[in-house]
Each structure stands twice: as structure tokens, then as C-alpha cells.
Amino acid sequence: MAPVFCLLLAFFMIASGNAQGPPSPGYSPSSRISSVTFNQGFRNLWGPQHQRVYQGSLTIWLDKTSGSGFKSLEPYQSGYFGAAMKLQPGYTAGVITSLYLSNNEDHPGNHDEIDIEFLGTTPDKPYTLQTNVYIRGSGDGNLIGREMKFHLWFDPTQDYHNYAILWTPSEIIFLVDDVPIRRYTRKSDATFPTRPMWVYGSVWDASSWATENGRYKADYSYQPFVGRYTNFKISGCTANSPASCHPPSASPSGSGSLSRQQVSAMNWVQRNYLVYDYCHDPKRDHTQTPEC
């Protein structure tokens, strides 16, 4: 009976789509945007001795002496920001590998931020992809995160996959291989970032919280912890663009939000791979997150 059961289980997984990942979103926003090399769009921000550029791709790493980070050449007020990333396998607890938008250098203690962060893990557990949005709230003792965390339908250490943030005046969409995984809409000016931000990436030690709320720390006997980036894509409105500038569209219609097919793919991801949603956390004070 065991072989028959295994065959039935495999058939069910294929039929349900779990074996092959999410249903097609029907549209690839990244296909409309040309790639740039690292040097065309970015520069080193810190840890230059732990950063290597080869044929337009970037490798950064963390060891017990330092991590490394990079920053875009220009600030943006909206746009599509993405890269293909490949993560370190094995023990990576306490380590963050990231791609994000921020204006912390311009507004310390009162900044906006949109994050894609990979939370390091132990070899027996999958990586967690954390998405987050901050609005004028960090560094003043009133840090209000809007975290949604996901596991992935593939192993992000085995190959490069595309991760992106699409930030428009009306919404923020997080994408993995062009599949929308989260949509954060502008419900009020108080809950949506509107000030220009730079694009950043980094690998760093966040042992105090990154892995199971700090239960597992970075272990430098496994160093270096490496993050690899390629296929950078930046397309949008810089801080100096005219008011007539429009960011790329998430949908095939070229206007409005996600298509029905894109929403279906996003719902599939959230049904199967969402592992934390701040709006559904009973420990949170939801008077601080009125968008919930």
C-alpha cells in the first residue's frame, strides 16, 4: 500500500500545483525593465573589503570582522527595484541578507523603509523571507514594523531567483520571480511612505532577533556568510524627476493594480507559504497599525 499511497500523494501535489510552485501570474513586470550592472546603479556603502564585483554581478560577505552593504547612485520617489539573489546554504542563523529602500541617512530617527530581508536559519529549517514597511517610525522609541513573513516554494540557496519591490504612489508590491507575494496599499498618508528613498543591499549580523527571535545566533565557525546579487533592475522616478513621471506598472493593463490572475497567484502564495502577518498577531497593538 505504501507505494500506491506515495503515487497518489505525488499526483495530488502535482494536481494542486504545490509540486510546481504557484499558478502563473500571467505577466512579468521585470520583462519590461532592462538590467543594469552593479556599477551602473550602485556603489559600495560599507565593508568594501568584503565586496567583489565581477562581470557586473556582486558578491558580498560577512565574517567576524565586518559585513558589507551597497547603495544606489540616486534616490527615488517611486519605481521598480529588483535583483536576482542567491543565498548561503547551511548554518546562517543570525545573518540577514537584504534588498531594501530607505531614507534613514536623510531622516535619522524618523525614516521610511521598504524591506526584503532573508532571515538566516539552521540547516534543518527553510529560509524566511521577511517583507516589511516602516513609516516615519524608527529610532524614536516607537518602532512600528509591518512584517509579513514567508517561506518559499523553492530552495533559494540552489540558484538565483528574482526579488523585487514595486513602489507606486498608491501601493507597494513585493514580487518573487514576478509572482506577487504581498500588496500593501495606501489607505492614508500616515500609513504609507511618500518621501524619496535610496536602494540598498547588505549582509550583516542581526543575532539579537533574526532567527527565531534571537534564539539562534551567528556562528562564525561557519564564516564567511555570502550573498550574491546579479541582474539588477532599477526603473522609476528619481527624487528630481518631474511630476509627470510615472513608475512602471505591476499589471499588464499598464494602469491600476494587479490583474485577477496576479491576485490568484498571490493568494496561492499566502495560503501555502505565509508564516506571519502582523495584522493577525494578537500580541500587537493594532491602534498603531490602522491599515489592518
- DSSP character string of 140-189: SS------EEE--SS-TTTS-EEEEEEE-SSEEEEEETTEEEEEEE-S-G
Give the other-Cβ count within 10 Å of 119's Cβ: 21
- Residue 26 and residue 18: Cα distance in Å, rounded? 18
Strand partners, 69: 46, 202
Q: What is the SS3 assignment for 18?
A: helix
Asked about 212 being catalytic, the answer comes back as no
Grid coordinates of 1:
500500500
Within the chain, residue ranges assigned H as helices are: 2-16, 38-41, 260-273
Asked about 113 being catalytic, the answer comes back as yes
- The single residue of 117, 147, 171, 212 carrying the catalytic annotation is 117
CA torsion 163-167-173-178 (nearest 10°) is -40
Strand partners, 179: 176
Grid coordinates of 22:
504557484
Q: Which residue has the cell 511612505?
A: 193
Cβ–Cβ < 8 Å for 28, 178: yes
- The single residue of 74, 105, 113, 147 carrying the catalytic annotation is 113
Based on its alpha-carbon atoms, the radius of gyration of the chain, rounded to whole angstroms, reads 19
Cβ–Cβ < 8 Å for 97, 228: no
- Give the active site residues: 113, 117
